[in-house]
């Protein structure tokens, strides 16, 4: 085979591959998954980005088919990144990549335009199947999540009182100040904050505020 024919064949093979972009702020996840995906003959990892802004810059320069997006990242949130992907590169199809399975995050990500959900601990076969499935134009959600979506059972997770308390805490109020504002005891405020942390799968109030703002649960001026 001539050198020219070899180059043509190589170009055609590259064009047939599913082009992937990884977006995750954890290097171990980015490069570990990229190494796995890079071994597949029908996949090509275009780039691995630590945040949403870097991913959007790549998408403006290089065509991509599938974008694996972490939901909880510093700076631009995963949900906002997914929204901007549709504006920047409408042919690219985002898939959620997360260590969490919190209803509100998944629901908001689907509304933003996510085509699927992958847990970071998912088996390699499930990850590869989801990527190929979304590339063919289908959605790829685990049955447990698909059922909750189809039955409209995705809930915000936090009660109106819990949101109210978290918004006040996000504005800088202490537990005592929140208790006085809402005319409840500090003990009740502390219990609510513990429940909020458990529901959002976070360790403290600072992280709870960060997640709640990123997922649209609360809005703080």
In a domain, 125, yes or no: yes
Residue 184 sits in a domain of what CATH number? 1.10.10.10
Last residue of a domain, one of 150, 184, 205: 150
DSSP labels for 103-167? Answer: HHHHHHHHHHT--EEEETTS-HHHHHHHHHHHHTT--B--HHHHHHHHTT-----S-HHHHHHHH
- Domain identity same for 47 and 69: yes
Last residue of a domain, one of 118, 150, 182: 150
- In the structure encoding, which two tokens stand for residue 121, read together? 């601990």
In a domain, 219, yes or no: no
Last residue of a domain, one of 107, 128, 150: 150
Residues in the chain: 221
- Domain identity same for 33 and 124: yes
- In the structure encoding, which two tokens stand for residue 204, read together? 């403290």
Write out the chain's pLDDT in tens, 221 residues.
444 333 434 444 556 899 999 999 999 888 888 998 989 999 999 999 999 999 999 999 999 999 999 988 888 889 899 999 988 899 999 999 888 777 777 878 888 889 999 998 889 999 999 999 999 989 998 887 777 676 554 454 678 888 899 999 999 999 999 999 999 999 999 999 998 888 887 888 898 888 888 777 787 76
In a domain, 155, yes or no: no
Write out the residue range of the structural domain in which residue 202 sits: 160-214
In a domain, 94, yes or no: yes
């Amino acid at each position: 085979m001539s050198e020219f024919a070899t180059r043509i064949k190589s170009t055609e093979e590259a064009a047939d591959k599913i082009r992937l972009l990884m977006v995750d702020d954890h290097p171990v996840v980015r490069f570990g998954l990229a190494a796995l995906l890079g071994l597949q003959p029908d996949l090509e990892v275009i780039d691995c980005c630590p945040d949403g802004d870097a991913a959007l810059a790549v998408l403006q320069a290089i065509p991509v088919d599938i974008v694996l997006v972490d939901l909880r990242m510093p700076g631009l949130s995963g949900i906002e990144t997914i929204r901007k992907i549709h504006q920047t590169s409408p042919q690219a199809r985002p898939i959620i990549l997360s260590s969490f399975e919190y209803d509100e995050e998944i629901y908001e990500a689907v509304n933003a335009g996510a085509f699927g959900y992958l847990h970071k601990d998912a088996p390699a076969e499930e990850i590869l199947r989801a990527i190929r499935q979304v590339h063919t134009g289908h959605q790829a959600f685990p049955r447990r999540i698909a059922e909750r979506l189809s039955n409209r059972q995705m809930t915000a997770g936090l009660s109106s009182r819990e949101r109210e308390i978290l918004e006040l805490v996000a504005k800088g109020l202490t537990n005592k100040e929140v208790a006085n504002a809402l005319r409840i005891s500090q003990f009740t405020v502390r219990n609510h904050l513990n429940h909020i942390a458990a529901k959002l799968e976070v360790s403290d109030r600072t992280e709870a505020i960060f997640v709640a703002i990123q997922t649209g649960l609360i809005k703080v001026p």
